[in-house]
Amino acid sequence: MRTAEIALAAAGAGADAVGFAFVRGSARQVEPEEAWEIIGALPPFVGSVAVFMNPSLDAFSDVEERCPTTMTQFSGNEDSQLVRRCGPGLIKGVRYHPAELAADLAKWEAIDEVDAVLIDCPEDTDWGALAIVVAGTKKPVVLGGLDPANVEAAVKAVRPYAVDVSAGVEQERGIKDAALIAEFCAAVRRADGCHP
């Protein structure tokens, strides 16, 4: 999220949390002070997630001090030592490679500071196959790489704890679309058996 207007649209559409990319050079990057102002505009009980990719411990600590968030998401190739030092309240992102996913899940499940594992799924993901792999997962699974067209099928097949969306609700890279966010949230509610 880069504007309060879009963050509030997401909250109004039913999002449980909104994310802020603290990734230098990203089209989605936001400065900690800007994110903090947006967090202050959110309604009660809507969480915030700080998204990092391969930060140093100092960079992570600096952002956390300037903009404390409900959760932290690491989406890069962070090592287990950094993850342990930056948790708890941490979501560890992994890419969906069928041959490696079970090992990736086991690695991050073994670390107490990891509260959930986010699986970044490509467009051609076989949801049934993914459901089999995550069936025995002990920690909450979050599915990412989704959009309004595929989220309903993904949720019905995999039954994740939560879903994550970014590019799937953008007009162009880094620019979120309130209508697409509303479509996405409505599709999640349908998948959960709730009326949109």
Q: DSSP letter for 128, please.
A: H
Q: Is residue 159 part of a domain?
A: yes
Q: Is residue 140 part of a domain?
A: yes
Q: Is residue 91 part of a domain?
A: yes
Q: Is residue 27 part of a domain?
A: yes
Q: Is residue 196 part of a domain?
A: no
Q: How far is CA 179 from the centre of its chain?
A: 19
Task: Say if residue 3's pLDDT is above 80.
Answer: yes
Q: DSSP letter for 112, please.
A: T
Task: Say if residue 15's pLDDT is above 90.
Answer: yes
Kindly indicate the confidence band of residue 21, based on its pLDDT and cuts at 50, 70 and 90: very high
pLDDT reported for residue 193: 86
Q: Is residue 116 part of a domain?
A: yes
N residues, the chain:
196
pLDDT reported for residue 194: 74
Largest CA distance in the chain: 45
CATH number, domain with residue 171: 3.20.20.70
The string of pLDDT tens digits covering residues 132-191 is 999 989 999 999 999 999 999 999 999 999 999 999 999 999 999 999 999 999 999 999
DSSP calls for 122-186: -TT--HHHHHHHHTT-SS-EEEES--TTTHHHHHHHH--SEE--SGGGEEETTEE-HHHHHHHHH
Number of domains in the chain: 1
**For the residues 58-80, what does the mean pLDDT come to?**
98
The string of pLDDT tens digits covering residues 31-50 is 999 999 999 999 999 999 99
Q: DSSP letter for 29, please.
A: B
- CA 76, CA 161: separation in Å to the nearest integer? 21
Q: Is residue 96 part of a domain?
A: yes
- Bridge partners of 49, per DSSP, are 19, 71
Q: Is residue 70 part of a domain?
A: yes
- Per-chain mean pLDDT for the chain: 96
The string of pLDDT tens digits covering residues 101-116 is 999 999 999 999 999 9
Task: Say if residue 196's pLDDT is above 70.
Answer: no
Kindly indicate the confidence band of residue 63, based on its pLDDT and cuts at 50, 70 and 90: very high
Containing structural domain, residue 158: 4-191
What pTM did the predictor assign?
0.95
Percent of the chain whose pLDDT exceeds 90: 97
CB 115 within 8 A of CB 83: no
